[in-house]
Amino acid sequence: MTERKTKEEYLKKTAIVCILATVCCTLWGSAFPAIKLGYQYFEIGGNDSATQILFAGSRFTLAGILTILIGSTMSRKILIPKKQSYRRILVLCLFQTVLQYIFFYIGLANTSGVKAAIINGSNVFVAIIIACLLFRQEKLTWKKMIGCILGFAGVVVINLTKDGLDMHMKFTGEGFILLCTIAYALSSVFIKKYSEDENPVVLSGYQFFVGGVIMMILGAVWGGKLTVITGKGIGMLIYLALVSAVAYSIWGILLKYNPVSKVAIFGFVNPISGVILSSIFLDEKGQSFGLKGILALILVCIGIFVVNYQGSGPKVSSEGK
């Protein structure tokens, strides 16, 4: 009991949350260019939605297997869900994997990695609003709203060009990325709720596996085929699976012990890293880092600080309990 309490106190420390959440978001940011490169390696066309879904399903099926294996090794026992968790796993796989990534993979194929990154940044607002107003897991305060506005301003700044912000919208591109953010926000709140009496690693692993299998079936039935198999493609698929296995497991653990707002605000690091890495690996030079990138990062950091600052007095909030 004492060991569990010590672990809980450790994972509630702002510095630990900052380090682990930043690692998660950097990994997720790397997924923007990695998926685009995966399309190139497997020769998946931008309009081939069926194969994109099959590719995503393969990634998450593998991610589920890796999560369960890694979690079982660390726990020194095979991770098996509790009886009451099976329905929750189905709900999670619907929002966190199936809906989120069907929209994400199709949307990303129809827009740039940079534009996907900025739209994806809105999931922080949505997650906090849903947690506060819909599920009432915590209070919506001005401090949280100001932090979100500063963070989102950073995401907007890094995407400004000499011609202003590109506002061109395509429903199957930017529109699908927006729907993806809503599914993600709902999944964050559900993880917070469900992990009260279930291991978040168990939830992540099994929902990935079930959701991945569903997506593979959907993609195959729709006519998707992975016909070009290369070493680079397999390597990228394994990397993407590891991104999901590691990042979502850590994120779920952080949400278990902290308010959604304290963790979700770090989501603004995701699009910043996505923009930087897309610029480097996809040659999307229209969005270079430079001075505006530094300004964007400063705004994001200030936003994170505002949401997490507790002041010098005693902490009296019961948020997240």
Q: Which residue has the tokens 């999670």?
A: 92
Query: Cα 20 to chain center, whole Å?
Result: 13
- Ranges of each domain in the chain: 2-308
Instruction: Compute, in degrees rounded to 10, the torsion defined by CA atoms 222, 108, 300, 280.
Output: 130
- Bigger pLDDT: 157 vs 81: 81
Query: What's the confidence (pLDDT) of residue 88?
Result: 92
Q: Between 272 and 236, where is the model more confident? A: 236
Is pLDDT of 182 > 80? yes
Given a cut of 60, is residue 256 above it in pLDDT? yes
Q: What angle do CA 174, 175, 178 make, to 5 degrees?
A: 90
- Supply the pLDDT for residue 163: 59
Query: How many residues are there in the chain?
Result: 321
List, for residues 48-99, the tens digit of each pLDDT value: 888 989 999 999 999 999 999 988 998 888 989 988 899 999 999 999 888 9
Give the model's confidence band at 214: pLDDT under 50 very low, under 70 low, under 90 confident, else very high: very high
> What is the per-residue DSSP string for 190-240?
HHHHHTTSS-HHHHHHHHHHHHHHHHHHHHHHHT-------HHHHHHHHHH
User: Can you state the angle between helices 14-41 and 2-12, rounded to 10 degrees?
Assistant: 70
Average pLDDT, the chain: 80
Residue 164: its pLDDT value, please? Answer: 56
HSE, side-chain direction, 13 A CA sphere, residue 98: 19
CB atoms within 10 A of CB 136: 9
The closest of 110, 277, 260 to 185, measured between CA atoms, is 260
Average pLDDT value for residue range 270-296: 68
Residue 320's pLDDT is 36
Residue 28's pLDDT band, with cuts at 50, 70 and 90, is confident
Rounded CA separation 162/93 (Å): 41
Average pLDDT over residues 171-176: 82
Does the pLDDT at position 258 exceed 80?
yes
Residue-level pLDDT at 218? 93
What integer pLDDT is reported at residue 10 of this predicted model? 82
